[in-house]
């Protein structure tokens, strides 16, 4: 019996009682609908091989390799390992790996002409404490903006690049660090739900186009303050076997980055783009 339940106010939904490896089209449809409604979909208790994880992920769109080559699975370029190789040869903790995704609220792939539609994680090892992932709604962020700010942002483009103003590119190979900045509307209409969201990422934005630098800086500071709406958050506490997929077109997320470093916290991750959904 498939059970769908809300996890947080405005964001987060869980589907229980399914085995994602045996879903047919009719079985998958309510999951996709729940995901569009909830922005973050949790499916617990799954036992998957990489091929099964990839096959299920392709139901949401096109699975593409992430630009960080050093953290790819050696045999499956579409799979990123999270939390693997976090100690350097000298025994020190590699903070770029340990704190991946924990530097602040963000949306994945804003540096790309076509950002990732979705990111999906499968939990292989979970620490005894900490290591949660936080989520928040871009719709709620937009809805809560004061009308004067909505007006000022209407039609404005943000300029984004990998690593943003901090030039945080440690996870990229040297030869892959030169990104051409891209532009996205700061208020963005979701292509499927048609709802408006605040499309913003303080760690990747360089400037807001069409205003002078000081105004752009002030706007970025103000949006950084306003992007998270306290009543539209969900915090995921991981269990081994959880699959969690989030919609990068309407949600922000960040890793808590606070688990005991000597413990394992390991996920397979896929990055998913818009495109034909492959229903096997
Ligand atoms: O490890 C996590 O909780 C999330 C990391 C992250 O930001 C990502 O995978 O895009
Ligand atoms: Fe992320």
Domain residue ranges in the chain: 3-145+228-273
Q: Which ligand is nearest to the CA of 255?
A: 1
Query: In this structure, which residues have their CB less than 5 angstroms from ion ligand 2?
Result: 101, 108
In this prediction, residue 23 carries a pLDDT of 94
What is the end-to-end Cα distance of the chain in Å, rounded? 22
- Closest Cα to atom 1 of ligand 1: 255
Percent of the chain with pLDDT over 90: 90
CATH topology of domain 3-145+228-273: Double-stranded beta-helix (3.60.130)
Task: Give the mean model confidence (pLDDT) for residues 193-199.
Answer: 98
Residue 270: left (phi > 0), alpha (psi -120 to 50), or beta?
Answer: beta
- Give me ligand 2 centre to Cα 245, in Å: 11
101 lines ligand 1 (CB under 6 A): yes
pLDDT digits (tens, 9 = 90+) for 208-241: 999 999 999 999 999 999 999 999 999 999 999 9
Q: Which residues pair with 75 in a beta bridge?
A: none
Residue 172: left (phi > 0), alpha (psi -120 to 50), or beta?
Answer: beta
Quick check: 279 pLDDT over 70? no
Measured at the CA of 69, the angle between CA 65 and CA 72, to 5 degrees, comes to 65
Put the strands of the sheet holding 205-208 in their side by side order.
182-185, 157-160, 205-208
In this prediction, residue 141 carries a pLDDT of 98
Helix (H) or strand (E) holding 74: none
- Give me ligand 1 centre to Cα 213, in Å: 31
**pTM (predicted TM-score):** 0.96
In this prediction, residue 41 carries a pLDDT of 98
pLDDT digits (tens, 9 = 90+) for 27-53: 999 999 999 999 999 999 999 999 999
Residue 133 Cα: closest atom of ligand 1:
3
pLDDT digits (tens, 9 = 90+) for 48-58: 999 999 999 99
| Least confident range of 69-78, 86-95, 175-184, 185-194 | 175-184
In this prediction, residue 1 carries a pLDDT of 81
- Closest Cα to atom 5 of ligand 1: 101
Split at pLDDT 50, 70, 90, the class of 278 is low
Q: Which ligand is nearest to the CA of 82?
A: 1
pLDDT digits (tens, 9 = 90+) for 145-177: 999 999 999 999 999 999 888 888 888 898 888
255 lines ligand 1 (CB under 6 A): yes
In this prediction, residue 236 carries a pLDDT of 98
Give the β-pairing of 157-160 and 182-185: antiparallel
Rounded to the nearest integer, the mean pLDDT of the chain is 95
């Amino acid at each position: 019996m498939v059970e769908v339940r809300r996890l947080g106010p405005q964001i987060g939904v869980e589907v229980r009682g399914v085995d994602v490896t045996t879903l047919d089209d009719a079985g998958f449809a309510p999951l996709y609908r729940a995901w569009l409604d909830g922005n973050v979909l949790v499916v617990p208790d799954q036992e998957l091989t990489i091929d099964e994880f990839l096959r299920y992920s392709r139901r949401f769109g096109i699975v593409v390799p992430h630009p960080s080559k050093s953290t790819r699975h050696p045999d499956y370029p579409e799979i990123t390992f999270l939390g693997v190789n976090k100690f350097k040869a000298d025994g020190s903790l590699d903070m770029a790996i340990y704190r991946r995704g924990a530097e602040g609220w963000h949306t994945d792939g804003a540096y790309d002409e076509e950002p990732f539609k979705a990111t999906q994680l499968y939990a292989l090892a979970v620490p005894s404490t900490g290591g949660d992932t936080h989520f928040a709604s871009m719709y709620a962020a937009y809805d809560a903006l004061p009308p004067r700010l909505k007006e000022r942002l209407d039609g404005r483009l943000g300029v984004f690049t990998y690593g943003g103003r901090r030039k945080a590119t440690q996870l990229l190979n040297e030869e892959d660090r030169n990104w051409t900045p891209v532009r996205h509307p700061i208020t963005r209409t979701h292509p499927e739900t048609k709802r408006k969201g605040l499309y913003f990422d303080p760690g990747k934005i360089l400037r807001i186009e069409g205003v002078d630098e000081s105004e752009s800086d002030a706007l970025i500071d103000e949006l950084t303050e306003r992007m998270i709406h306290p009543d539209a958050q969900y915090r995921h506490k991981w269990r081994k076997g959880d699959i969690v997929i989030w919609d990068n077109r309407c949600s922000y997320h960040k890793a808590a980055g606070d688990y005991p470093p000597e413990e394992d916290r390991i996920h397979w991750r896929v990055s998913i783009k818009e495109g034909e959904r492959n229903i096997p």
